[in-house]
Amino acid sequence: MRVILPVLAVAALVATGCERRDSLNNLPERYGHAGGSGSGNSGSSWQKVPRADEQVYTVAQGDTLTSVAQKFGTTVEDLIKRNDFRSHSEFKAGKTIIVPRK
């Protein structure tokens, strides 16, 4: 259902002749996504939205996956999985990540 609603919204805009791109700009937020700038963690243009049991953290200089996992009481594996990291090189200072809590 989450995919169908944005598709239907776009189809409705096309059918009515709406060509304004800004009409589509808030679709990601409306359907549970943040971002939309093309800098998503998984290669898509949408980023994941943190759940109630998670928090957003900006990686600081000197942070490692292990140090962040220990700081928040989670595991490196959970950090990698939740943020769709394909390699450790995606974890770098300034990157905003979602930290699952145990």
| 17-22: average pLDDT | 50
Q: What is the pLDDT of residues 46-88, one digit of tens each?
A: 567 888 889 999 999 999 999 999 999 999 999 999 999 998 8
Measured CA to CA, the distance from residue 40 to residue 48 in angstroms comes to 8
Band (pLDDT 50/70/90 cuts) for residue 5 is: low
Could you give all domains of the chain from N- to C-terminal order, each with its CATH number? 50-102 (3.10.350.10)
Q: Are 50 and 58 in contact (CB under 8 A)?
A: no
Q: Are 36 and 25 in contact (CB under 8 A)?
A: yes
Measured CA to CA, the distance from residue 87 to residue 64 in angstroms comes to 13
Q: How many CB atoms lie within 10 A of CB 100?
A: 19
| Residue scoring higher pLDDT (44 or 94) | 94
